[in-house]
Structure 1
Amino acid sequence: MGFTYLTTAELSAAIKYDKRVIREQLKDSVLFEGIHYIRPFGGRKILFIWERVEEEMLNGVTTYSLTNGS
């Protein structure tokens, strides 16, 4: 199974959160290195794993809550 890797800017556009919010509030409190993002080749650049971020966002969301707005 392949993963979709997103930069902070791409993730920002996908989830409609400001890049700064992702870097300063979500990273390392909700989104964790090795689970939700990686630093390829030991560098500074961060790549978010879309499928795992999406799973985290939907954690606790049920079909009922999606269809009924609860």
Structure 2
Amino acid sequence: MENTYLTTEQLAERIHYTARTIRNELIDSCLFEGKHYIRPFGRRKILFIWENIENEMLANNDDSIALAS
């Protein structure tokens, strides 16, 4: 499976959060290194793995729908 790698700004556009919110609130609380993002070559830059984030969002949405039923 091929992965789509996104910068913080590109992810912000897709999920309608600000890049600042992603960096300050979502990283390491909802988005975890190795699963949702990587730091290529051990550097500062973060690349998000879109497919993993999308699957997580959809799975959490399915759980909340099931609880409401």
TM class by shorter chain equals 0.7 to 0.9
1:37 counterpart residue number: 37
Question: For residue 35 of structure 1, what is the amino acid of its counterpart?
Answer: K
Corresponding residue of 1:50: 50
Unaligned stretches of 5+ in structure 1? none
Q: Distance in 1 between matches of 2:61 and 2:17?
A: 19
Structure 2 gap ranges (5+):
none
SS of match in other structure, 2:29? coil
Aligned alpha-carbon RMSD (Å): 1.3
Q: Residues 20-58 of structure 1, C-alpha deviation per residue, up to 9 Å, x if partnerless?
A: 110011000000000000000111000000000111111
Count matched residues: 64
CA distance in 2, matches of 1:9, 1:29: 19
Provide runs of 4+ in structure 1 moved above 3 Å: none
**What is the alpha-carbon distance in structure 2 between the residues aligned to residue 47 and residue 35 of structure 1?**
11
Partners of 1:60 and 1:30 in 2: CA distance: 11
Q: Percent identity over the alignment?
A: 61
Q: Are 2:10 and 1:19 equivalent residues in the alignment?
A: no
TM-score (norm 1): 0.85
Partners of 2:57 and 2:47 lie apart in 1 by: 17
Higher helix share: 2
The 3-state SS of whatever aligns with 1:29 is coil
